[in-house]
Amino acid sequence: MKVTVPYCIEAKKNEKKLTMLTAYDYPMARLLDEAGVDILLVGDSLGMVIQGKSDPLSVSVDEMVYHTRLVSRGTKRALVVGDMPFMSFQVSIQDAVVNAGRLIKEGRANAVKLEGGREISKQVKGIVNAGIPVMGHLGLTPQSLNQFGGFVVQAKSEFAIKNLIADAISLERDGAFAIVLEGMPEEAARRVTERINIPTIGIGAGKYVDGQVLVTYDMLGFSDWAPKFVKKYADFKSVIQGAVQQYIDEVQNTVFPTDEYTYQVKIDRREDPDVVEKTTEFKRTDIDDFDDLF
């Protein structure tokens, strides 16, 4: 059964935890979808994870559309959410609706995600009124890293938590169907979750939320370093490097390929006059002394 926006909202009512992971291409999307994850987020984190940049700020709408299209192509069950990159929605309602529309129409996403609270209320309403589902994102919002002074934990004071709750209530009233809560104390995330009727999905926000999300490459151990909140469920870096090193060794020592991986086909030594004539005619355009080759 396809995961939908109503499915996500019902999951909170039924106290069923939602699972979300990032995906940026067809092969990974297909693997994660077949494994049963509920939501695939095509995050602007691809700027760091895939493109090797230090932050996501320079990721473009065109790049998001391209990667979202790849993920959508590899997905049958999961809800696909496309991230709205930096400055794709902040300037105007029109920009927000047009760019969100591109992620849906060209990228084939099922919903879009925006960072921010009350300050983007009009944009959220505009996108929702255009018939596009919106997922919110509060707390440590990476697109605001320059304002925060880096990737710093948010909502560490009572005042900040109350602001966070107000932003979450605003997003719900504006029509968002879910909110990502990132990089905050567990108590802050719990209090937000208790105050709204739409699901919260935490990343570095503790367990008192309605679901969890991680960057897939982090949880699969593709790199040496990962944030504190990441549990590594596999060590793919060692697995991949080990396999590649074995391949290099076997090629250099003529161990690979063995007969098992070789086409052992009996060559037909008979000359078909028609085939020889056509082949000769073709090759004589490039080789003057074609007959001397035989």
Q: What is the pLDDT of residues 107-143, one digit of tens each?
A: 999 999 999 999 999 999 999 999 999 999 999 999 9
Percentage of the chain exceeding pLDDT 90:
88
Active site residue 115: no
In the prediction, which pLDDT does 23 show? Answer: 98
- Among the four given CATH numbers 3.90.1150.10, 3.20.20.60, 1.10.8.50, 3.10.28.10, the one describing domain 5-219: 3.20.20.60
Mean predicted lDDT score pLDDT of the chain? 94
Going from N- to C-terminal start, the domains of the chain cover 5-219
For the cut 60, the answer to whether the pLDDT of residue 175 exceeds it is yes
- 119, 182, 194, 271: which is the annotated catalytic residue? 182
Instruction: With cut-offs at 50, 70 and 90, classify the pLDDT of residue 270.
Output: confident
CA dist 142 and 49 (Å) reads: 13
- pLDDT at residue 278 tops 70: no
Give the Cα-Cα-Cα angle 114, 116, 117 (nearest 5 degrees): 120
List the Cα angle 44/48/54 in 5-degree steps: 115
What global pTM score does this model have?
0.90
